[in-house]
Amino acid sequence: MSGLQILVVEDVFIVALDLSHQLEELGCAVVGPASSVKQALEKLDEGALDGAVLDVNLAGEQSFPVAQALASQGIPFFFLTGYDSAAIVPEEFRRIPRLSKPVDAKALIGAVSQFRR
């Protein structure tokens, strides 16, 4: 996983910081974190990414426009959410992996390992 460029989209600072730290410990280069859809789309336009972690709810704004942009560019991603229900995710993204908050280290490793080049 060393050197993977991973976009982190998370609006809660402490969660973003913890997630970024965990990814960096795995050898990933963290892009962001972005705390809004606008910031995430700007980061996406800045350069090549190997994958992304998207919090579903960004201060009341859903991250699905970012998911659509990532999918259209063929960039893998997974959702991070505190919600239990799959119903919050649109049908087109129901097959995308979802990790629950707080993030389990083993689950994070498993999800990020799918981003390998």
Tokens of 57: 């709810």
Query: For 32-66, how does the pLDDT look when each residue is reduced to its tens digit (9 = 90+)?
Result: 999 999 999 999 988 789 999 999 999 989 999 99
Query: For 1-34, how does the pLDDT look when each residue is reduced to its tens digit (9 = 90+)?
Result: 788 999 999 999 999 999 999 999 999 999 999 9
Which positions ≥6 away from 11 have C-beta within 8 Å? 35, 36, 55, 57, 58, 59
CATH of the domain at 33: 3.40.50.2300
The pLDDT value recorded for residue 102 is 84
Domain count, the chain: 1
Sequence-ordered alpha helix ranges (H) in the chain = 13-25, 37-46, 64-72, 105-112
d(CA 34, CA 38): 8
The pLDDT value recorded for residue 88 is 75
What range defines the domain where residue 18 resides?
5-115
